[in-house]
Amino acid sequence: MGNNILDKINQQLINDSCLKDAGKLLSSDYCDWKPSNPTYGYCYLVSEAIYHISEEILVPHIINLGSRFGVHWFLKYNDAIIDYTANQFNFSLDYKLARKCEFLNGSIETDKGFISIRGNKFLQYLM
């Protein structure tokens, strides 16, 4: 990947950002968020934020994990998986089951489209 924000993002930054937010940006579906599993519920927000600040062409993907876990969001760069929230699960994800998708239409314009208010707030933790 080129010299851009992706070079500065790592698992510790993502964990710290989720801890800083402490579940406040998550929907009520994730009201059982705990500091011991900091990325729990953050897959959409992390993927959306990284997508909008990266200079690279990233493609959002989702995996349907069934009724217990719902869908899981992550990004692909060419064939590389970018998934800083996979560690919320105690099992390996089968990325071959994933499909391309689009983020929901947000209301804040970026160079790559529109980001959600919650995604934009999370993005501030990464800066």
Q: Where are the domains of the chain?
A: 5-126
The encoded tokens of residue 48 equal 């959306």
Residues of the chain with pLDDT under 70: 1-5
Quote the DSSP letter at residue 105.
P
pTM: 0.91
* Residue found by looking up tokens 């934020």 in the block: 49
Helix (H) or strand (E) holding 12: helix 11-21
Helix (H) or strand (E) holding 110: strand 108-110
Residue 117 confidence (pLDDT)? 94
